[in-house]
Amino acid sequence: MKTIPEHIDRQIIRFLQREASEQDIQELESWLEEHEDHKRYFDQMNEAFQTSQVLSTFTHEKINQAWTRVNGRIVSSPKAPARTKVIKLYHYNILRIAATVSAIVLLSYVAWTQFTRLNTDTNKSTIVYSAGKHNTKVFLPDGTAVWLNTNSTLVYGPDFGVTKREVFLKGEAFFDVHKDQKSFIVNAEAFTIRVKGTRFNVQAYTNEENIRTTLEEGSVELMVNGSITDERYAMKPGDQISFNAQQHVVTRQTVNPSDYTAWKEERITFDNTPLADIILKLENRYKVHVLVNDSLAVRERLTMTIGSESLDEVLEFIQVSSRLKYRKENNNIYIYE
């Protein structure tokens, strides 16, 4: 990859500082679409910049040590675009200054693999977008960790953490909410979820018939907007509440939360696990519907570890390591003997 033009570097920094003009954004959009390496370079710049914001509360000595580690990781990364030593040092100094001297207040951890504004002014709100086939982990200004699933967006305003903690979700996300006196509010399609500090998953894709919240830890107060009663639900760990917008029906059940958060795990290990339990995690991870005879699902047990394998690779492994067969029809997977 050729050396990054200096004006592109300046535009990226202006964008991360929320000072980019419309022309800057348009030019960056075009530049990002030119080559996959451009997107990777932007991600590295963004990671370094966001790290500087987190480190701004540390001592000068700790900042220097952390920046040395961050810069070394970017330089040595096999995916990093080829850069000259002078330009790397330039970015190191620029971003280090942003961490220690600048009065800029960046209100989020932004992870864009492409620029998507969703009809929102980027100077008034912050968008976190997970594109393509990979989910991403982001940190909000209050310390809350959020895992965003593919094709999901999280939006919040510039007053987040100051006067309120409120976000808007489209798609799926897992929240590990930092405890605070201010309530943390998630707006997701028909759901309004209010917590203080807890761990839960929300699945609210616009094109899906059902939306659901699954509580892993802590407590949640959930209100279903559009249901017949607009009732509020107090949830405890293991509770899952689903809402069918077409039928205006709310259902509540007790589940194993890990079955519905498997999508965010890098590795899932099954040790002599019943097929029925494996299927739940496969459906959640790969967004498919698996059909199998109930007795077969209980009887068959498998041992395997799933990492970055595709669904087809997992199904092939099941087929060669057992007496089971499978076939795919549209978004359905049929498993049989």
- What are the residue ranges spanned by the domains of the chain? 6-100, 126-257, 265-336
pLDDT mean over 264-274? 88
pLDDT at 58 over 50: no
Residue entry with tokens 């220097």: 64
State mean pLDDT over 112-116: 37
CA trace torsion 247, 248, 254, 258 (10° rounding): 80
Rounded CA separation 215/202 (Å): 9
What is the pLDDT, as a whole number, of residue 237? 95
Q: What is the Cα–Cα distance from 298 to 294, expressed in whole angstroms?
A: 6
273/297 Cα distance (integer angstroms): 10
Token digits of residue 94: 């620029």
For residue 222, count CB atoms less than 10 angstroms from its CB and return exposed for 0-12, middle for 13-18, buried for 19 or more. buried
Phi and psi at residue 289, in whole multiples of 5°? -115, 120
How distant is the alpha carbon of residue 329 from its chain centre? 29
Better-predicted residue by pLDDT, 174 or 72: 174
pLDDT (0 to 100) of residue 257: 93
Spatial separation of the C-alpha atoms in residues 273 and 262, rounded to whole Å: 15
Q: How far apart are CA 70 and CA 284, in angstroms?
A: 34
- Give per-residue pLDDT as tens, 198-254: 999 999 988 788 899 999 999 999 998 866 666 789 999 999 999 988 888 899 999
The residue-averaged pLDDT of 134-138 equals 82
Q: What is the mean pLDDT of the chain?
A: 76
The single-letter DSSP state of residue 183 is P
118 contacts 127 by C-beta, under 8 angstroms: yes
User: Mean per-residue pLDDT for 53-69?
Assistant: 50
For residue 52 the two structure tokens come to 């500087």
Q: How confident is the model at residue 1, as a pLDDT? A: 53
Mean pLDDT over residues 143-172, rounded?
88
Determine the residue type at 321: S
- Percentage of the residues of the chain whose pLDDT score is greater than 70: 71
Range of 72-76, 230-234, 308-312 with top mean pLDDT: 308-312
285 backbone φψ class: left, alpha, beta (φ>0; ψ -120 to 50) = alpha
Is this prediction's pTM over 0.85?
A: no
Segment 84-91 mean pLDDT: 36
In contact, 113 and 151? CB cutoff 8 Å: no
The CATH topology of domain 265-336 is: Phage tail protein beta-alpha-beta fold (3.55.50)
Q: Is the pLDDT assigned to residue 43 strictly greater than 90?
A: no
Q: What is the pLDDT of residue 92?
A: 40
**75 φψ region: left (φ > 0), alpha (ψ -120 to 50), beta (else):** alpha
Answer for the pair 160, 141: CB distance below 8 angstroms, yes or no: yes
Question: How many residues are listed for the chain in this entry?
Answer: 337
- The reply to whether domains 126-257 and 265-336 share a CATH topology is no
**DSSP per residue, 188-244:** ETTEEEEESS-EEEEEE-TTSSEEEEEEEES-EEEEETTSSS--EEEE-TTEEEEEE
pLDDT at 118 over 80: no
pLDDT on residue 126: 62
Look up the CATH architecture of domain 126-257. Answer: Sandwich (2.60)
Of the two residues 309 and 81, the one the predictor is more confident about is 309
